[in-house]
Chains A and B, each alone.
Chain A
Amino acid sequence: AQSVTQPDIHITVSEGASLELRCNYSYGATPYLFWYVQSPGQGLQLLLKYFSGDTLVQGIKGFEAEFKRSQSSFNLRKPSVHWSDAAEYFCAVGRAKTGANNLFFGTGTRLTVIP
């Protein structure tokens, strides 16, 4: 069965510092992996996705993520965090189905950015 683990519930970083959010997945086949961000009072916005190919993927807002099959991980990184990055971040794995394809989400990591 598919599952996603985000071990960090809450992370605090200083503005300008680097960021890494952890995600581990369990999936029997080649996973389709995603990172979404949710700002307060908003829905989820897709940051980036990995389907195949280059294991380092670039997303919006300066984020990137690296797929490591040996570690079953898909960690999200940003070299320099901005105050506007404060939000909740969700990792997700996709499950192929006929028609609509479903996503399984982790519990999320809340990011706080301090001046």
Chain B
Amino acid sequence: GEDVEQSLFLSVREGDSSVINCTYTDSSSTYLYWYKQEPGAGLQLLTYIFSNMDMKQDQRLTVLLNKKDKHLSLRIADTQTGDSAIYFCAEIPSGNTGKLIFGQGTTLQVKP
């Protein structure tokens, strides 16, 4: 079945790196995504990775993909208080109608 799992909460100090982890079940997923949701707001696409890549870097964000273990991570370097939000991992499962399957979200708390 299609399932995406994330840890629920992460707390870091401002300036530290944050690593948010995600596991998924569909080994045929083509794209994997990270979205950010600030309180009361919509889902902001942060970055995505194609399944034939191991890593993607975009400014302070680094995405690592381990296809063998079906593990995706998002590293935020030099975490700022403005990074406090809920981070959702999502995949497009095989069949590719484009629907996204989301994890339950990881709440990132950044302490000054």
Q: Do A and B bind each other?
A: no
Q: Which residues of A are at the interface with B, using a C-beta cutoff of 8 A? A: none
